[in-house]
């Protein structure tokens, strides 16, 4: 090699190495990122009913870890997915309670305290508006593969909606069974989003 070209060859080699490392890092980061699609695939490909003891506990912990890495909107939609419902049917009450507590967003307790301080009419409207947005998400054609069909999870029980509005969402949630808490979780997350965005505090809201 011509000595004059040696520095150029070294520089090109360094650039190629840096580029290769950058691409490797990008691919690893992309594969490591948790998405709603990845969580649904995990739920669909893992049969909880066939797992016992440590393997079962490990699978549930993995699900909790995945859920806690999702953005709020994807976490909410995953809770409403048919595969989430299938797993829930296979869990006992203790497992349900532990999973819900482990995957509820930070600050939900504080949110419930603040929510209970709102006027009754504003609380009721907040619940109705949040349920409306949840129904719109369920009816979105882009979510057809997740929520439509005979195995799709049902909408929030009207009785639960009524009791949450009249009894008080905080008290009702704290006294509910694990199954009821699971049904209420998407609603709590939607209300929390509304409060954090300031939507509930705007005039006329």
- The secondary structure of 107-136 as a DSSP string is THHHHHHHHHTS-HHHHHHHHHHHHHHHHH
52 DSSP assignment: -
What burial class does residue 42 get, using C-beta atoms within 10 Å of its C-beta: 0-12 exposed, 13-18 middle, 19+ buried?
middle
194: its two tokens: 């509304």
Residue 180 is predicted with a pLDDT of 83
Residue 50 is predicted with a pLDDT of 92
C-alpha to C-alpha distance for 96 and 188, rounded to whole angstroms: 17
Residue 182 is predicted with a pLDDT of 81
Residue 150 is predicted with a pLDDT of 41
CB 183 within 8 A of CB 88: no
Residue 32 is predicted with a pLDDT of 58
Residue 204 is predicted with a pLDDT of 53
Residue 199 is predicted with a pLDDT of 64
149 DSSP assignment: S
Full-model pTM: 0.64
C-alpha to C-alpha distance for 175 and 191, rounded to whole angstroms: 19
1: its two tokens: 């090699």
C-alpha to C-alpha distance for 136 and 145, rounded to whole angstroms: 15
Residue 152 is predicted with a pLDDT of 47
Percent helix / strand / coil, the chain, rounded to 5:
80, 0, 20
92: its two tokens: 């006992």
Reported residue count of the chain is 205
76: its two tokens: 């909410």
Phi, psi of 177 (to 5 degrees): -75, 170
Residue 101 is predicted with a pLDDT of 84
Q: What angle do CA 194, 168, 100 make, to 5 degrees?
A: 65
List of the chain residues with pLDDT < 70: 1-12, 14, 18-32, 138-156, 165-167, 198-205
Residue 128 is predicted with a pLDDT of 84
The HSE-up count of residue 32 (CA atoms within 13 Å, CB side) is 6
């Amino acid at each position: 090699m011509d000595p004059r070209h040696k520095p150029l060859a070294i520089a090109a080699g360094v650039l190629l190495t840096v580029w290769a490392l950058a691409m490797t890092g990008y691919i690893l980061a992309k594969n490591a990122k948790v998405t709603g699609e990845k969580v649904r695939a995990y739920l669909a490909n893992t049969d909880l009913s066939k797992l016992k003891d440590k393997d079962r506990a490990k699978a549930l912990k993995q699900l909790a870890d995945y859920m806690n890495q999702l953005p709020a909107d994807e976490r909410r939609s995953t809770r409403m997915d048919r595969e989430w419902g299938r797993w829930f049917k296979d869990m006992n009450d203790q497992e349900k309670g532990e999973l819900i507590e482990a995957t509820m967003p930070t600050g939900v307790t504080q949110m419930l305290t603040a929510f209970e301080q709102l006027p009754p009419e504003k609380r009721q409207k907040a619940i109705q508006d949040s349920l409306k947005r949840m129904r719109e998400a369920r009816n979105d054609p882009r979510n057809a593969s997740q929520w439509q069909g005979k195995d799709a999870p049902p909408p929030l029980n009207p009785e639960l909606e009524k009791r949450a509005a009249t009894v008080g969402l905080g008290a009702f949630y704290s006294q509910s069974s694990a199954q009821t808490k699971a049904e209420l979780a998407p609603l709590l997350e939607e209300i929390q989003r509304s409060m954090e965005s300031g939507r509930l505090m705007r005039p006329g809201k």
